[in-house]
Amino acid sequence: MISRRSLREAPIATRLFASAAILSAVILCVAGVLLSAIYRRTTESAFDERLNVYLKELVGDLSAPTEQERNELGNLGEPRFNLQGSGWYWEVSRADGGVFKASRSLFGQTLPKLGESVPFERFQPWRRGYVALSDDRRLRVIERPIDLGEDGQFVVSVAAESSEIENDIREFQLALGLTFLVLGAALVGSTWIQVNYGLQPLAHLRRAVARIREGESERIEGDYPRDVAPLASELNLLIDANREILDRARTQVGNLAHALKTPLSVMTNEVDASGGPTAGKLNEQVALMRHQIDYYLNRARAAALAGALGAVTEAAPTLEALTRAFSKIYRERDFDLDLPPEHLRFRGEKQDFEEMVGNLIDNAGKYSRLQVRVAVVGEEAGDRKRLVVVVDDDGPGLPPDKRAAAWRRGQRLDETKPGSGLGLSIVSDLAGMYGGALEFDVAPLGGLRAKLSLPAV
């Protein structure tokens, strides 16, 4: 059963097409019923007119002034009235119920009367309707009472099997049904064409926004109808405002970095020049302040850049450059890079991608014995694409109970290795801001596996 929520979430084209198809089907069905009813009434009226001709002739013969003319009652010129069981009958009966004269086709049977429940036609002296013979055959009957004064009162009836009417109606309904099926198919096809043609500007707009999101374009270009053009203009204004805000954030972050690092450098120089027993402690606190400033400035910059529209980074060349760089730093290690055949791109800034992956490769280079392996794969997560970078090493690895603390800010699990303890924390924060994740596991090489999942295009 289709829920109300699923109907609300259905595409506009589907909703328009479904509603038009349903309304067309309902309208055609109603029109078919009405046309069938009209045709039935028309067919019955035409059939009754044929019966009425014979009725008038019978009434004229019955009302004749001479006995000889009355004896000629029933010579209607229709052979079927003389054939037994032909389905065509006439009967003249007295008002008290006795049969005065009847057609040979009745062969002793009595023609059923319509009864008082059937009203007389408006402004006409007869009435008409359906009756059934004793053998269940259905007849269309038209009858008229006539008063001959001293000769008495009579009821003149003419009847014929209704199968002729039903056959005509059945043929009409079949032709009507086939015609409406063709018409319905034509309406559905034309509706589909109209919906797709009418919604083409929205499809073009969606593709234009997708090109901006994937970094292939900077603005929405093209001509749009008057009711869609304002939306395209507003989206361009929103994109411009977004870029302006991001540029302002980058500028403010850079200014803050320069404003803070310069006094810290002055403080470091003054402490070194003054010497004294507190110089070492002050230098340690100044270094800690530098680390804290770097950490939060990186977070602020990443938070600004993570929302940038159209930022896209090619994964393969960036990974190749990082691998070459770290293979020169750690010459005694063997760096392997496994790139897939497909074209993978990270949805974000190149600098952030380099910082995240660079920290992971650097960490693997520090702790590995002989080998570091870097691989990248593409994954499908529902309707979204993911880029997964896997960095394996053959080092001592990391116990499960210490993995959660590995990306804690300022946490260093091995004091013998150089570093500030901010690298993995920055990687985790940057990945989270882009909607990604960093996970640790045991590498097939025996050391640590770092798995970085990021949005892709």
What's the burial of 421, exposed, middle or buried (CB within 10 Å: 0-12/13-18/19+)? middle
Region 2-28: what's the mean pLDDT? 78
Largest interatomic CA distance in the chain: 157
For the cut 60, the answer to whether the pLDDT of residue 414 exceeds it is: no
Cα–Cα distance, 103 to 434 (Å, whole number): 97
Q: What is the pLDDT of residue 397?
A: 83
Q: What is the dihedral of CA 73, 75, 79, 84, to 10 degrees?
A: 20
pTM tops 0.75: no
Region 49-71: what's the mean pLDDT? 78
Region 291-295: what's the mean pLDDT? 70
Percent pLDDT > 90 in the chain is 21
What's the burial of 5, exposed, middle or buried (CB within 10 Å: 0-12/13-18/19+)? exposed
Cα 270–chain centre separation: 69
Q: What is the mean pLDDT of the chain?
A: 81
For the cut 50, the answer to whether the pLDDT of residue 420 exceeds it is: no
**The sheet that has 437-442: what strands, in order across it?**
334-338, 371-381, 384-393, 448-455, 437-442
| Confidence bin at 65 (pLDDT 50/70/90) | low
What's the burial of 274, exposed, middle or buried (CB within 10 Å: 0-12/13-18/19+)? exposed
Cα–Cα distance, 390 to 365 (Å, whole number): 14
| Confidence bin at 303 (pLDDT 50/70/90) | low
Per the CB < 8 A criterion, the answer to whether 130 and 121 are in contact is: no
pLDDT digits (tens, 9 = 90+) for 335-367: 999 888 778 888 888 888 898 999 999 989 988
Q: Which one has a higher pLDDT value, 399 or 123?
A: 399
| Confidence bin at 248 (pLDDT 50/70/90) | confident
Cα–Cα distance, 269 to 32 (Å, whole number): 97
Coil, strand or helix at 222: coil
For the cut 80, the answer to whether the pLDDT of residue 295 exceeds it is: no
Region 299-323: what's the mean pLDDT? 73
Q: What is the pLDDT of residue 410?
A: 45
Per the CB < 8 A criterion, the answer to whether 362 and 337 are in contact is: no
Given the DSSP bridges, would you call strands 371-381 and 334-338 parallel, antiparallel or unpaired?
A: parallel
Region 28-57: what's the mean pLDDT? 92
